[in-house]
Structure 1
Amino acid sequence: KYADIFVTIFNDKDQQKKALKGLKNATKFIRGELGKDLKLRYVPNIEFMIDEDLEHQYKLLKIITEIDDQQLNLKKDKNNE
């Protein structure tokens, strides 16, 4: 009877909070739409949460990319000497 919905919002923390608040404010409407579209005996109570795993993966990928760029620049500098 319960469903946790994890969302990813690629903005700063303030924007994430605003978006999450908007989703939470729209919960009743979203449940109504789910009830219309899905033929379920019960429409679950839904709760929206920030999916921090994907955000963490994005940050790690960004760090790895920066390291690769730095190594590439070092190789170019050595070749130019």
Structure 2
Amino acid sequence: MQIAGKKVRLVKWIHGSRCVLRVEVDGVIPDADPSEPVVLPDSVRWLDELQRLADLGDMDALQRSAPVATVYVRKSA
């Protein structure tokens, strides 16, 4: 699915039980409605997978799936 518009990189945060990830994904500022950028469908699927791994607390799989992500591990107080 192609969305006409300007391609941009968007920062998204994923919150899991043991960690928080900061990732950059592909997005588009649509020509039809430039008020807000949208995340591309492939990026949405990737974010869903990262969310699933974060919810499981699978840190090794997260590092493999998102090697460019910044991962912050939650420490208990």
How high is the TM-score relative to the length of structure 1? 0.29
Higher helix share: 1
How high is the TM-score relative to the length of structure 2? 0.30
Q: Considering only CA atoms, is the larger Rg found in Structure 1 or Structure 2?
A: 1
Higher strand share: 2
Structure with the bigger RCO (C-alpha within 8 Å, sep 6+) is: 1
